[in-house]
Copies of this chain bind each other. A is one copy, B any other.
Amino acid sequence: MSKPTLKTLAEATGLAQTTVSRALKDDPKIAIATRQRVASAAREIGYVPDRAAQRLRTGRTNVIAFVSSPHAEIIGFRGSMMAGLSEELKGTDYHVTMTPYDTDANPMRPIQNIVRNRLADGLIFSGTQPRDQRVDYLLETGFPFVTHGRTDMAGGHAWCDYDNGQFVELALERLAGQGRRTVMLFRPAPDLTYARHMTEAAVRTGTRLGLAVTHLRSVTLSSRANEIHDLVVRQIRSGCAPDAYLCPGEVPALAVIAAIGDCGLSVTDDIAVVAKQTSSVFDLIRPRIDTIHEDLHAAGASLGRLLLRRIAGEPAERLQDLHAPQERFRPERRKAVI
Protein backbone atom coordinates (compact mmCIF):
# COMPACT_ATOMS: atom_id res chain seq x y z
CA MET A 1 0.00 0.00 0.00
CA SER A 2 1.73 3.11 -1.16
CA LYS A 3 0.78 6.61 -0.21
CA PRO A 4 -2.60 7.70 -1.61
CA THR A 5 -2.47 10.34 -4.35
CA LEU A 6 -5.01 12.17 -6.42
CA LYS A 7 -4.97 9.23 -8.79
CA THR A 8 -5.93 6.80 -6.05
CA LEU A 9 -8.74 9.07 -5.05
CA ALA A 10 -9.88 9.51 -8.64
CA GLU A 11 -10.10 5.75 -9.09
CA ALA A 12 -11.90 5.34 -5.80
CA THR A 13 -14.56 7.90 -6.65
CA GLY A 14 -14.74 7.27 -10.36
CA LEU A 15 -13.99 10.91 -11.12
CA ALA A 16 -11.16 12.53 -13.03
CA GLN A 17 -8.03 13.66 -11.22
CA THR A 18 -8.71 17.25 -12.11
CA THR A 19 -12.21 17.07 -10.66
CA VAL A 20 -10.92 15.58 -7.46
CA SER A 21 -8.25 18.24 -7.16
CA ARG A 22 -10.74 21.03 -7.62
CA ALA A 23 -13.31 19.44 -5.37
CA LEU A 24 -10.78 19.33 -2.57
CA LYS A 25 -10.18 23.04 -3.09
CA ASP A 26 -13.92 23.70 -2.73
CA ASP A 27 -14.09 25.16 -6.19
CA PRO A 28 -17.67 26.49 -6.69
CA LYS A 29 -17.66 25.13 -10.24
CA ILE A 30 -17.85 21.63 -8.81
CA ALA A 31 -21.26 20.37 -7.68
CA ILE A 32 -21.69 20.42 -3.94
CA ALA A 33 -22.65 16.76 -3.82
CA THR A 34 -19.43 15.85 -5.62
CA ARG A 35 -17.36 17.98 -3.30
CA GLN A 36 -18.80 16.21 -0.29
CA ARG A 37 -18.33 12.81 -1.82
CA VAL A 38 -14.69 13.57 -2.58
CA ALA A 39 -14.11 15.03 0.86
CA SER A 40 -15.39 11.98 2.64
CA ALA A 41 -13.48 9.62 0.36
CA ALA A 42 -10.32 11.60 1.05
CA ARG A 43 -10.88 11.39 4.77
CA GLU A 44 -11.55 7.69 4.66
CA ILE A 45 -8.57 6.86 2.51
CA GLY A 46 -6.27 9.22 4.44
CA TYR A 47 -5.29 11.37 1.51
CA VAL A 48 -2.96 14.30 2.11
CA PRO A 49 -1.68 16.37 -0.78
CA ASP A 50 2.01 16.04 -1.52
CA ARG A 51 3.68 19.28 -0.59
CA ALA A 52 6.60 18.80 -2.93
CA ALA A 53 4.32 18.33 -5.91
CA GLN A 54 2.15 21.30 -5.04
CA ARG A 55 5.23 23.33 -4.62
CA LEU A 56 6.70 22.30 -7.93
CA ARG A 57 3.47 22.99 -9.72
CA THR A 58 2.43 26.25 -8.10
CA GLY A 59 5.70 27.71 -6.94
CA ARG A 60 4.21 28.27 -3.50
CA THR A 61 5.86 26.70 -0.49
CA ASN A 62 3.50 27.48 2.40
CA VAL A 63 6.57 28.25 4.40
CA ILE A 64 7.51 31.36 6.30
CA ALA A 65 11.21 31.71 6.94
CA PHE A 66 12.40 33.31 10.13
CA VAL A 67 16.03 34.18 9.61
CA SER A 68 18.09 34.80 12.70
CA SER A 69 21.49 34.49 14.14
CA PRO A 70 22.25 31.05 15.57
CA HIS A 71 23.83 32.49 18.68
CA ALA A 72 22.96 30.84 21.86
CA GLU A 73 21.14 33.40 23.90
CA ILE A 74 21.08 33.41 27.63
CA ILE A 75 17.58 34.75 27.71
CA GLY A 76 15.18 33.76 24.96
CA PHE A 77 14.53 36.43 22.39
CA ARG A 78 13.83 34.31 19.35
CA GLY A 79 11.88 31.90 21.51
CA SER A 80 9.21 34.41 22.44
CA MET A 81 8.95 35.75 18.93
CA MET A 82 8.71 32.27 17.49
CA ALA A 83 5.98 31.44 19.97
CA GLY A 84 3.94 34.45 18.95
CA LEU A 85 4.60 33.82 15.31
CA SER A 86 3.61 30.20 15.33
CA GLU A 87 0.54 30.92 17.38
CA GLU A 88 -0.50 33.50 14.82
CA LEU A 89 0.04 31.05 11.98
CA LYS A 90 -1.94 28.30 13.62
CA GLY A 91 -5.03 27.70 11.58
CA THR A 92 -3.45 28.83 8.34
CA ASP A 93 -1.50 26.16 6.55
CA TYR A 94 1.70 28.05 6.69
CA HIS A 95 4.45 26.78 8.88
CA VAL A 96 7.60 28.45 10.09
CA THR A 97 11.15 27.42 9.49
CA MET A 98 13.92 28.99 11.43
CA THR A 99 16.98 29.54 9.32
CA PRO A 100 20.03 30.21 11.42
CA TYR A 101 22.83 32.09 9.79
CA ASP A 102 26.44 32.11 10.13
CA THR A 103 27.55 35.36 11.65
CA ASP A 104 31.05 34.85 10.38
CA ALA A 105 29.72 34.93 6.87
CA ASN A 106 27.68 37.34 4.85
CA PRO A 107 24.22 37.93 6.36
CA MET A 108 22.92 38.09 2.79
CA ARG A 109 23.71 34.46 2.14
CA PRO A 110 20.75 32.75 3.80
CA ILE A 111 18.38 35.31 2.34
CA GLN A 112 19.67 34.95 -1.18
CA ASN A 113 19.49 31.23 -0.73
CA ILE A 114 15.85 31.39 0.32
CA VAL A 115 14.85 33.71 -2.47
CA ARG A 116 16.74 31.95 -5.23
CA ASN A 117 15.66 28.47 -4.23
CA ARG A 118 12.15 29.65 -3.43
CA LEU A 119 12.49 28.02 -0.03
CA ALA A 120 9.70 30.13 1.42
CA ASP A 121 6.86 32.43 0.44
CA GLY A 122 7.92 35.15 2.81
CA LEU A 123 10.72 36.23 5.08
CA ILE A 124 11.15 37.72 8.53
CA PHE A 125 14.36 39.02 10.00
CA SER A 126 15.54 41.45 12.61
CA GLY A 127 18.61 43.48 13.45
CA THR A 128 17.81 46.06 10.80
CA GLN A 129 20.21 48.81 9.88
CA PRO A 130 19.38 52.23 8.45
CA ARG A 131 20.73 51.26 5.05
CA ASP A 132 20.12 47.55 5.06
CA GLN A 133 21.36 45.58 2.07
CA ARG A 134 18.95 42.78 2.83
CA VAL A 135 16.07 45.21 2.43
CA ASP A 136 17.53 46.56 -0.81
CA TYR A 137 17.90 43.08 -2.20
CA LEU A 138 14.41 41.94 -1.24
CA LEU A 139 12.76 45.08 -2.60
CA GLU A 140 14.67 44.63 -5.82
CA THR A 141 13.55 41.04 -6.22
CA GLY A 142 10.01 41.77 -5.04
CA PHE A 143 10.10 39.02 -2.45
CA PRO A 144 7.57 39.46 0.40
CA PHE A 145 9.14 40.23 3.76
CA VAL A 146 8.63 41.97 7.06
CA THR A 147 11.44 43.31 9.17
CA HIS A 148 11.56 43.52 12.92
CA GLY A 149 12.90 47.04 13.18
CA ARG A 150 12.90 49.96 10.82
CA THR A 151 15.27 51.23 8.15
CA ASP A 152 15.79 54.46 6.22
CA MET A 153 13.38 53.14 3.62
CA ALA A 154 10.76 52.24 6.19
CA GLY A 155 8.09 53.92 4.08
CA GLY A 156 8.53 51.33 1.39
CA HIS A 157 8.48 48.02 3.18
CA ALA A 158 6.52 46.16 5.83
CA TRP A 159 7.89 46.28 9.35
CA CYS A 160 7.03 45.86 12.99
CA ASP A 161 9.03 47.77 15.54
CA TYR A 162 9.10 48.63 19.20
CA ASP A 163 9.10 52.31 20.04
CA ASN A 164 12.54 52.44 21.56
CA GLY A 165 12.50 56.21 21.54
CA GLN A 166 9.44 56.24 23.74
CA PHE A 167 11.04 53.58 25.91
CA VAL A 168 13.99 55.85 26.62
CA GLU A 169 11.74 58.83 27.18
CA LEU A 170 9.56 56.93 29.65
CA ALA A 171 12.54 55.57 31.52
CA LEU A 172 14.20 58.97 31.82
CA GLU A 173 10.97 60.51 33.06
CA ARG A 174 10.74 57.92 35.78
CA LEU A 175 14.35 58.48 36.80
CA ALA A 176 13.93 62.24 36.82
CA GLY A 177 10.84 61.79 38.95
CA GLN A 178 12.95 59.89 41.45
CA GLY A 179 15.40 62.77 41.59
CA ARG A 180 18.20 61.16 39.61
CA ARG A 181 20.45 63.67 37.82
CA THR A 182 22.93 61.62 35.79
CA VAL A 183 22.07 58.56 33.75
CA MET A 184 24.19 56.23 31.72
CA LEU A 185 22.45 54.60 28.79
CA PHE A 186 23.70 51.39 27.23
CA ARG A 187 23.02 51.68 23.54
CA PRO A 188 22.72 48.92 20.98
CA ALA A 189 25.50 48.32 18.46
CA PRO A 190 25.78 51.56 16.47
CA ASP A 191 24.92 50.02 13.11
CA LEU A 192 21.39 49.13 14.19
CA THR A 193 18.62 51.54 13.40
CA TYR A 194 17.25 51.69 16.90
CA ALA A 195 20.57 52.92 18.24
CA ARG A 196 19.65 56.14 16.53
CA HIS A 197 16.12 56.16 17.94
CA MET A 198 17.48 55.73 21.42
CA THR A 199 20.19 58.32 21.06
CA GLU A 200 17.82 60.95 19.72
CA ALA A 201 15.31 60.32 22.48
CA ALA A 202 18.04 60.45 25.08
CA VAL A 203 19.32 63.81 23.87
CA ARG A 204 15.87 65.32 23.48
CA THR A 205 14.46 64.06 26.77
CA GLY A 206 17.64 64.68 28.70
CA THR A 207 17.58 68.30 27.65
CA ARG A 208 13.90 68.67 28.43
CA LEU A 209 14.23 67.22 31.92
CA GLY A 210 17.63 68.62 32.75
CA LEU A 211 19.23 65.20 33.03
CA ALA A 212 22.81 64.47 32.06
CA VAL A 213 22.57 61.39 29.87
CA THR A 214 25.83 59.74 28.89
CA HIS A 215 26.74 56.67 26.92
CA LEU A 216 29.83 54.95 25.63
CA ARG A 217 31.01 54.01 22.19
CA SER A 218 33.12 51.14 23.37
CA VAL A 219 30.55 49.24 25.38
CA THR A 220 27.17 48.40 23.89
CA LEU A 221 24.31 46.02 24.46
CA SER A 222 26.15 43.52 22.27
CA SER A 223 29.20 43.57 24.49
CA ARG A 224 29.90 40.55 26.58
CA ALA A 225 28.21 40.58 29.96
CA ASN A 226 31.51 40.59 31.81
CA GLU A 227 32.70 43.68 29.92
CA ILE A 228 29.59 45.50 31.04
CA HIS A 229 30.05 44.26 34.58
CA ASP A 230 33.66 45.34 34.69
CA LEU A 231 32.89 48.74 33.24
CA VAL A 232 30.35 49.47 35.95
CA VAL A 233 32.75 48.30 38.65
CA ARG A 234 35.45 50.61 37.28
CA GLN A 235 33.06 53.54 37.17
CA ILE A 236 31.96 53.02 40.75
CA ARG A 237 35.50 52.50 42.06
CA SER A 238 36.74 55.63 40.33
CA GLY A 239 33.85 57.67 41.70
CA CYS A 240 32.47 58.65 38.31
CA ALA A 241 29.42 56.43 38.32
CA PRO A 242 26.08 57.94 37.34
CA ASP A 243 22.96 58.05 39.50
CA ALA A 244 21.29 55.49 37.32
CA TYR A 245 21.90 52.95 34.57
CA LEU A 246 19.39 52.51 31.78
CA CYS A 247 19.69 49.00 30.32
CA PRO A 248 17.55 48.14 27.32
CA GLY A 249 18.42 44.46 27.55
CA GLU A 250 18.01 41.86 30.25
CA VAL A 251 21.48 40.41 30.29
CA PRO A 252 23.21 43.79 30.52
CA ALA A 253 20.80 44.71 33.31
CA LEU A 254 21.75 41.59 35.24
CA ALA A 255 25.40 42.45 34.74
CA VAL A 256 24.88 45.95 36.05
CA ILE A 257 22.91 44.75 39.07
CA ALA A 258 25.64 42.25 39.87
CA ALA A 259 28.33 44.90 39.52
CA ILE A 260 26.58 47.36 41.81
CA GLY A 261 26.16 44.65 44.43
CA ASP A 262 29.77 43.54 44.06
CA CYS A 263 30.88 47.08 44.94
CA GLY A 264 28.81 47.02 48.12
CA LEU A 265 26.26 49.51 46.89
CA SER A 266 22.49 49.18 46.79
CA VAL A 267 20.43 49.21 43.62
CA THR A 268 17.49 50.79 45.36
CA ASP A 269 19.31 53.35 47.51
CA ASP A 270 22.51 54.26 45.71
CA ILE A 271 22.25 53.64 41.99
CA ALA A 272 19.01 53.00 40.15
CA VAL A 273 18.67 50.51 37.32
CA VAL A 274 15.88 50.60 34.77
CA ALA A 275 15.74 47.68 32.39
CA LYS A 276 13.86 46.67 29.32
CA GLN A 277 12.02 43.54 30.26
CA THR A 278 11.16 40.87 27.71
CA SER A 279 10.72 37.87 29.97
CA SER A 280 9.66 37.26 33.54
CA VAL A 281 13.25 36.81 34.72
CA PHE A 282 13.22 39.96 36.83
CA ASP A 283 10.52 38.47 39.05
CA LEU A 284 13.24 36.13 40.23
CA ILE A 285 16.03 38.62 40.65
CA ARG A 286 16.81 40.39 43.89
CA PRO A 287 16.89 43.24 44.48
CA ARG A 288 13.87 44.02 42.35
CA ILE A 289 14.36 46.77 39.82
CA ASP A 290 12.21 49.03 37.77
CA THR A 291 11.39 47.76 34.28
CA ILE A 292 9.54 48.70 31.13
CA HIS A 293 8.20 45.87 29.08
CA GLU A 294 8.58 44.89 25.44
CA ASP A 295 6.18 42.18 24.39
CA LEU A 296 8.09 39.95 21.98
CA HIS A 297 5.27 37.47 21.80
CA ALA A 298 3.04 40.21 20.41
CA ALA A 299 5.82 41.27 18.07
CA GLY A 300 6.05 37.74 16.66
CA ALA A 301 2.31 37.59 16.15
CA SER A 302 2.34 40.98 14.50
CA LEU A 303 5.15 39.98 12.16
CA GLY A 304 3.20 36.91 11.11
CA ARG A 305 0.01 38.84 10.51
CA LEU A 306 1.76 41.50 8.47
CA LEU A 307 3.63 38.97 6.39
CA LEU A 308 0.50 37.03 5.51
CA ARG A 309 -1.15 40.21 4.32
CA ARG A 310 1.95 41.16 2.37
CA ILE A 311 2.02 37.75 0.70
CA ALA A 312 -1.66 38.22 -0.15
CA GLY A 313 -0.61 41.28 -2.09
CA GLU A 314 -1.44 44.17 0.20
CA PRO A 315 0.82 47.17 -0.42
CA ALA A 316 3.68 47.41 2.06
CA GLU A 317 2.88 51.01 2.92
CA ARG A 318 -0.07 49.92 5.00
CA LEU A 319 1.74 47.10 6.76
CA GLN A 320 3.59 48.85 9.52
CA ASP A 321 3.19 48.35 13.25
CA LEU A 322 4.80 50.42 15.96
CA HIS A 323 4.39 48.87 19.39
CA ALA A 324 4.30 51.13 22.39
CA PRO A 325 6.18 50.29 25.60
CA GLN A 326 4.07 48.75 28.33
CA GLU A 327 4.33 49.78 31.93
CA ARG A 328 3.53 46.38 33.33
CA PHE A 329 4.70 42.99 32.30
CA ARG A 330 2.09 40.81 30.64
CA PRO A 331 3.11 37.25 31.38
CA GLU A 332 2.74 34.31 29.02
CA ARG A 333 -0.55 32.57 29.33
CA ARG A 334 1.15 29.22 29.83
CA LYS A 335 3.50 27.43 32.09
CA ALA A 336 7.14 28.25 31.89
CA VAL A 337 9.39 25.64 30.42
CA ILE A 338 12.77 25.15 31.93
Contact = CB atoms under 8 A, between A and B. Distances in A.
Given A50-B56, A251-B284, A258-B286, A225 B336 contact: yes
Contacts of A52: 52, 55-56, 61, 118
Nearest to A101: B86
B98 A283 contact: no
B77 A224 contact: no
A96 interface: yes
Interface in A203-225: 221-225
Interface stretch (A65-73, A167-175, A309-317): A65-73
Contact of A280 (B103, B225, B335): B225
A83 B100 contact: yes
Given A281-B254, A338-B222, A70 B87 contact: yes
A76 B99 CA distance: 17
Nearest to A90: B102
B70 A83 contact: yes
Minimum-distance CB pairs A-B, first 5: A249-B338, A97-B97, A254-B284, A52-B55, A72-B80
A262 interface: yes
Interface residues of A, number: 70
A230 to B, nearest CB: 12
Contact of A283 (B48, B95, B225, B334): B225
24 contacts: A50-B117, A51-B119, A53-B56, A69-B337, A70-B82, A70-B86, A70-B87, A71-B83, A71-B335, A72-B76, A72-B79, A73-B337, A74-B75, A74-B281, A75-B338, A77-B338, A82-B100, A96-B98, A96-B100, A224-B336, A229-B284, A251-B336, A254-B285, A258-B285
Q: Which of A55, A252, A335, A338 has the most CB of B within 10 A?
A: A338
Contacts of A334: 71, 103
Contacts of A262: 286
A126 to B, nearest CB: 11
Contacts of A251: 284, 336, 338
A27 interface: no
B222 A337 contact: yes
Contacts of A98: 82, 96-98
Contacts of A102: 90
Contacts of A56: 50, 52-53, 55-56
